[in-house]
Structure 1
């Protein structure tokens, strides 16, 4: 590992461990206790050979029961010390790793619900899921052996002191092999960094393809794309396999080579030590103690190697996590409150687009309090883009949007979401009950408000027919309901809590015209009738509006009632097309 890589690895681990340093410190202390116990065991073994075993064989001395009991008590005490150290190290190391993993997942969830939609347009859902699952686990795998790696350092220090006290020459010989381990680790790190990064990226690709196949299961089956999707998944899975085989091969070579180093050291110690015992320069007990000390070091050295080989992989996973966590996003803060009982919505010279592509160009639009405005235009004219900006999903490139005279970005977030409710054509429901989907656990919402919203949305009939009424769980994305039922539950969610402005982006497209009319009439006749901005494709809906705004190619091409706008040839052509489409459906 180069110096810069060593420094970055230390900082990387330090950033993860710092918030949990008390727990991690206990794990390291457990490793230190184990290390001390291991060194004590080797030293006691050497003393036992020199002071007890050799005199029995060489001089025929008897061993007293009290002496045996004393040595047994000492050895048992050391074993207990080592057990305590192992338990503390493993338990608190695992606790540290799980807390760090939980922290990453919590931070990711925090970021996911606050990042702008522009972020999601360039990232796949499967990749984002891989961050929460695989990457969060991989990045913390390095923490499990970390206290043992510290134990290896403690053990090396304790063992070095003990060895030099027993035989300085054998100690120097034993520790001369450590530079070999350092060189091996540096070579391994340089070789594995790129494959490890490719491996983690490939995990995200596999998750993305799998997620698309699950999410688009209906399309896959309808179009008979089972084999094509299987082939696409197999291709990504094969690429992941190749990356993992490459990383696994490098790890196997590094691990086996590193494991051989202590064995080589023990052989050299025994060979040179036997010569020194024969020449009288060392004792048999001293040679056994040093051999035992070095043998004791072999396991921590292997754990240290396991730790070092996990560092590049963990850093690659961390880089993927921080590609999300380092994305800038605005934290919702306290904003202005609405003061007017009647609040108007205004788009003032608004320009919207994606990158250099302008979709909405210099639009002025007003929805007065209590008014119903229909937004009409051909597909791709920019209607849904206007709604996305109102929902805060798209930042204006120019101009501003105000509600009650206050820019919507300056409104208190809670006030904004309570006052302005939006229902989209794609009705997303959580895998929860009808009650939970409509109420969304909003503070202060009453049972009567949920029931009233369900009734206004025209959903009472089918909801009461469900097995558990409003307590029925609708399944993931509401898949147990029909398209029209999902739309009505989503509409009820938008209506719950008496909003001041309701925006419907083709939110009733899956229900028939009669039910749609009932819903809109119920909205207009309710006690606290909200203002409404409706993206409309049905003449029956358009005729219900107080005013119609005709959008063409990102600009306002006309305003007025439906009858007034029929004088516009483009609007007339669009209205005629709507009428013919409705006639065909009938």
Structure 2
């Protein structure tokens, strides 16, 4: 079914009413108050017509006949008009307040539910869904789902007004009512055509708004790429193309509204003219009074509102159904990380023992996207992409183990398993003999810290980025910074710990950002520290000092409550030979399997793949160092020649 046909399908209307019923059941008291206020507005609108008829009959016409107006009659008429107007204003205010309250409550409720669901769903589910889509689900789709709530109470109230008005007109004069009611089918027909033509065009314009936002977001996020590759003009043209499409769509919406709005406004006026024509004939025949004619004419001027109010609700229903389906797609998503009741094993102040036992893992992806970022998998196209195969090894408390392997061998996936971002398809990861799946909620985070490949800093102070809301004294912050070799440059910052680092740490170098992220992990005194190539932007000498600090901390141990903290078992994804050599043991991964294990020296002797890989890294680093040295020497020579000239 095409989008346009879907928007006029009776099933969409039924689904839309079902979505609104969800809101009514969730907020019955607020909805009832909004409908009561809307009913008050409707009743007072009809009462206004009756008051005008009464004032015409009892005040205006006698004043013309007598040549003067009685003060008491004028006061009574004015009081009646003001009183009705005040109640009508109260109804408008109550209707808008409670309708808005209901709408915003539903949006807030489902934003929270969608966000909680994101936190419950495993990382494997997030791998299959782009970030932009998830943001849209939590924001634009939630807003669209509950958009009809705002006009809904008014629509319910004006239906009440329509019924009261129709009864009042019939009771006043049946002949005039019969002529005037002919306008209803005409207005209804125009509304139906209007909504059918407008809904797909307006929905298309809404989609293009999201497209413009997406292009702008990508340009801002990729500002460094755009600038360094000179893509400013191309990005400007891309943004201009998107905004031009949105402009054309908005113009199409404006054309439709410009065509139909005058028609919708004119039809009730034509009905009023017809009523006045027939009513004047009835008045001449003494079949009705002048007050009755004024009352009926005024009521007919109001009767276009009920139909238009219903049209506003119906116009939002298609977007509401689409938004609700997308939100329900998240809320009904399967997959989670179930938790047990066990506490993390071992002594809370000592380094942890870790064991990986027969682990196998595969990413579930579709055939159009490679979202894993690692490995080629075992098959082509869609379906599961196997990354790890029967991986087993153990790490003794306080020891440092280096994970080494070529790109795509499964190292980053393994680190995700060690901190339980995902669960293995087979096998288990044990911490002090306890399967991570049996640990209570929050237990793994209390015991294990991950320092990821990609660093992320908030637009906050150094202290705020290290503690992340943790109640820690400054001396503990400085201790974590010292272990991460970040105390020196932090002390040199203008405001020390209170220096703001900018969005994503823009004011710091890559190595400084990595060290702050490492300090963020260390301040929590983890018993198991997992670093996924977390020092790649750090000088080799600084990296060596960081690892040495971690080894010394693990050797010192401690009870974890004396301010000095306990030691940590360290698992580090490493590439540099100098880093690998500092590890107590090396686990060599190749194509998702452990193909070698031992010390660095042992693997150099026994594993040809490991030897070739490590030596290749070393040659690359040596070549880069020699090239930098040559460039410096050339610069020095050129500077000397310039000085001689």
The TM-score, its normalising length taken from structure 1, stands at: 0.92
Q: Is the Cα contact below 8 Å between 2:345 and 2:431 reproduced in 1?
A: no
Partner-residue secondary structure (3-state), 1:47: helix
Distance 1:202 1:322 in 2: 23
What corresponds to 1:422 in structure 2?
Answer: 450
1:505 paired residue number: 532
Aligned partners of 1:255 and 1:305 also within 8 Å: no
Alpha-carbon distance in structure 2 between the residues aligned to 1:203 and 1:212: 14
Structure 1, 340-349 or 565-574: larger mean CA deviation: 340-349
Partner of 1:313: 319
Q: Give the match for residue 464 of structure 1.
A: 491
Residue 202 of structure 1: CA displacement?
Answer: 3.4
Q: Which stretch of the first structure deviates more once superposed, 155-164 or 517-526?
A: 155-164
Q: Relative to 1, partners in 2 of residues 1:496 and 1:297: Cα closer, same or farther, differing over 3 Å? A: same
Which of 178, 202, 212 in structure 1 is aligned with 2:208?
202
Corresponding residue to 2:57 among 50, 57, 60? 50
Deviation at 1:464, TM superposition (A): 1.5
Instruction: For 1:520-559, list aligned pairs within 5 A.
Output: 520-526=547-553, 527=557, 528-559=566-597
How many residues are treated as equivalent by the alignment? 584
**Counterpart of 1:277?**
283
**Residue 216 (1) aligns with residue 252 (2):** no
Which runs of structure 2 are paired with 1:297-376 in the superposition (5 Å)?
Answer: 297-328=303-334, 330=336, 335-341=341-347, 343-355=352-364, 356-376=384-404
Q: How far apart in 2 are the matches of 1:333 and 1:188?
A: 54
Tell whether the 8 Å contact from 2:453 to 2:533 is kept in structure 1 after alignment. Answer: yes
Between the aligned partners of 2:603 and 2:543, the Cα distance in structure 1 is 23
Q: Offset of 1:548 from its aligned partner?
A: 0.6
Give CA-to-partner distance per residue, 1:286-330, whole Å, 9 cap, x none: 111101111133345444433332333344444444444443453
Out of 27, 31, 39, the residue aligned to residue 32 of structure 1 is 39
Cα distance in 1, alignment partners of residues 255 and 119 from structure 2:
39
Post-superposition CA distance 1:263-292 (Å, at most 9, x none)? 232222222222222222222221111011
1:142 and 1:257 map into 2 onto residues whose CA distance is 24
Mapped pair 1:107 → 2:113: yes
Distance of aligned partners of 1:471 and 1:363 in 2 relative to their CA distance in 1, 3 Å threshold: same
Supply the distance in 2 between the matched residues of 1:267 and 1:455 (Cα, whole angstroms).
87
Comparing 262-271 with 38-47, greater Cα deviation is found at 262-271
Partner of 2:612, secondary structure, is helix
2:345–2:434: 8 Å Cα contact kept in structure 1?
no
Distance, in Å, in 1 between the alignment partners of 2:28 and 2:193 is: 31
* Residues 4 and 579 (structure 1), Cα distance of their counterparts in 2 relative to 1, 3 Å cut: closer
**Contact residue 142 and residue 310 of structure 1 kept, 8 A:** yes
Cα distance in structure 2, aligned partners of 1:184 and 1:405: 73
Could you tell me how far apart the structure 2 residues matched to 1:199 and 1:401 are? 50
Provide the residue aligned with 1:576 in structure 2: 615
TM-score between the two structures when normalised by the length of structure 2: 0.84
CA drift of 1:133 comes to: 4.8
Taking the aligned partners of 1:456 and 1:384, their CA distance within structure 2 comes to 24
Match of 1:23 among 15, 25, 30: 30
Kept in 2: contact 1:135–1:200 (CA 8 A): no
- CA shift, 1:392, in A, is 3.3
Aligned partners of 1:192 and 1:312 also within 8 Å? no
Change (3 A) 1:211 1:307: same
1:176 Cα deviation after fit: 3.8
In structure 1, the residue matched to 2:370 is: none
1:436 corresponds to: 464
By how many angstroms is 1:258 displaced?
3.2
- Mapped partners of 1:30, 1:446: distance in 2: 55
Q: Does 1:518 align with 2:545?
A: yes
Q: Residue in 1 aligned with 2:643?
A: none
Say whether the 8 Å CA contact 1:352–1:360 is kept in structure 2: yes
Do the aligned partners of 1:196 and 1:313 also contact (CA within 8 Å) in 2? no
Which stretch has the larger CA shift, 451-460 or 134-143?
Answer: 134-143
Structure 1 residues 285-294 or 342-351, which shifts more? 342-351
Please give the alpha-carbon distance, in whole angstroms, between the structure 1 residues aligned to 2:207 and 2:82.
Answer: 50
Please give the alpha-carbon distance, in whole angstroms, between the structure 2 residues aligned to 1:189 and 1:283.
39
Displacement of 1:489 in angstroms is 0.6
Distance in 2, Cα, partners of 1:192 & 1:393: 46
SS of residue paired to 2:408: coil
Superposed CA offset, 1:24-68 (max 9, x none): 3323222211211111111121122233333444x5475422222
Q: 1:48 to 1:239 in 2, by over 3 A?
A: same
Aligned to 2:374: none
Q: 2: CA distance between counterparts of 1:476 and 1:332?
A: 34
Match of 1:451 in 2: 478
CA contact (8 A) 2:343 2:440 kept: yes
Unpaired runs of at least 5, structure 1: none
Alignment of 1:73-112 (within 5 A): 73-112=79-118
Say which is worse superposed, 399-408 or 480-489, in terms of deviation.
399-408
The alignment yields a C-alpha RMSD, in angstroms, of 2.6
Confirm whether residue 173 of structure 1 aligns to residue 179 of structure 2.
yes
* Distance across 2 between alignment mates of 1:177 and 1:387: 71
Query: Structure 1 residues 289, 476: closer, same or farther in 2, change over 3 A?
Result: same
Matches of residues 53-72 of structure 1 in structure 2 within 5 Å?
53-57=60-64, 59-60=65-66, 62-72=68-78
CA distance in 2, matches of 1:395, 1:232: 41
Report the more deviating stretch, 508-517 or 384-393.
Answer: 384-393
- Following the alignment from structure 1 to structure 2, what is the Cα–Cα distance between the partners of residues 379 and 321? 37
**Distance change (3 Å), C-alpha of 1:50 and 1:468:** same
Q: For the Cα contact (< 8 Å) 2:42–2:161, is it kept in 1?
A: yes
Other-structure match for 2:563: none
- Cα distance in structure 1, aligned partners of 2:335 and 2:402: 33
SS at match of 1:38: helix
SS at match of 1:294: helix
Is the CA contact 1:445–1:497 (under 8 Å) kept in the aligned structure 2? no
Q: Secondary structure at the match of 2:403?
A: strand
CA distance in 2, matches of 1:272, 1:288: 13
**Structure 1 residues 513-563: Cα deviation after superposition (integer angstroms, max 9, x where no partner):** 111111111111114221111101111111111111111121111111111
Q: Distance in 2 between matches of 1:232 and 1:115?
A: 35
Mapped to 2, the partners of 1:545 and 1:139 lie a distance apart of 54
Q: CA deviation at 1:261?
A: 3.2
Distance in 2 between residues matched to 1:243 and 1:180, nearest whole Å: 28
CA distance in 1, matches of 2:163, 2:189: 20
Q: For structure 2, which runs of at least 5 residues remain unmatched after alignment?
A: 1-7, 365-383, 558-565, 626-645
